[in-house]
Amino acid sequence: MTVVKWILLALLAALVLLLLVPFTVRVSKHGEDTTAVLRWFGLRFVLYPGAEKEEKSTEKKQKKPKKPPKKKKTGQKSPQKLTSEQEEEKKRRKKEFLRLLLEKLPELLQAMGKALKRAAKRIILDHPCLWMKVGGPDAAQTAITYGKMSAEIYGIYAFLENILTIRRPYIQLTPDFLAASTTLEWECGVKTRLGDLLMIGIGLLGKALYLLVLQPAVRKQSPPESGGKSGGSHVMTKAGNHAGAGNAAAGESTGWIKNENKASATQKGRGETER
């Protein structure tokens, strides 16, 4: 048992080291050469370009004789094809998922905004370098292009600086009035940890599953509210009350008119008798 415990502790320690030790991936482009190097645990691994392939021998390999095509057995069933109803159902599900994704996309981005900002701060751009020589057909065009490139590059740098952590940046942008075209060389290192990437992925996946799967399922299972019927009866009772009040007011007005007519008739009768 003690041996098993030591093995488990060693595996746990190795897993913790893998998650906590940072690694750096450095990509560079100089001329037509592009390289990508990984540095981890003090070791250097070349990711791109890979190991050169061995040269093929001049001798051609003998072609293998083609096997005759297998005859289909009479009792063998052919794979069932999807019926038109199943295809329509499949298309409908895809459309419904895309509609739900587009509907929830603003809410998803808003919910992930804080998580993405916190996660982005854990990713470090280590010593990004940029060398650009701006050229053109003539001096005027070179100056215009240089101004546009300066605005775009420094604008992108300011945007990235607000999101990511940038260490030791270096930008060299110069106009070359003798060059006919613009040349660009760059290199950048990205430094992070596997634990940070794992936490970022789990957080984003959890948010996406909640908004796209769990929340719609809960809404479907919830019973429909009975507010429509009660609201309708309430409106009808209100309308009935208003109608009754209106009829009562109309009855009062007609009674007042009748009384007024009777009073005028009595006054006329008295005037005739007095004459």
Q: Is 128 exposed, middle or buried (0-12, 13-18, 19+ CB in 10 A)?
A: buried
- Let me know if residue 267 belongs to a domain: no
- Let me know if residue 120 belongs to a domain: yes
- Let me know if residue 244 belongs to a domain: no
Domain tally for the chain? 1
Range(s) of the domain holding residue 174: 92-221
Q: Is 171 exposed, middle or buried (0-12, 13-18, 19+ CB in 10 A)?
A: middle
Give the Cα separation of 168 and 36 in Å (integer): 19
Per-residue pLDDT tens digits of the chain, which is 275 residues long: 788 889 999 999 999 999 999 999 999 999 889 999 999 999 999 999 865 543 444 444 455 555 555 555 555 444 455 577 778 888 788 777 777 777 777 776 676 666 677 777 788 999 999 999 999 999 999 999 999 999 999 999 998 888 888 999 999 999 999 998 999 999 999 999 998 888 878 877 887 787 777 777 777 776 655 544 444 444 344 444 444 444 544 454 445 444 555 555 555 555 544 44
Tokens representing 236?
């009808």
CB 149 within 8 A of CB 132: yes
Q: How many CA atoms lie within 13 A of 210 on its CB side?
A: 11
- Let me know if residue 257 belongs to a domain: no
Give the Cα separation of 117 and 204 in Å (integer): 12
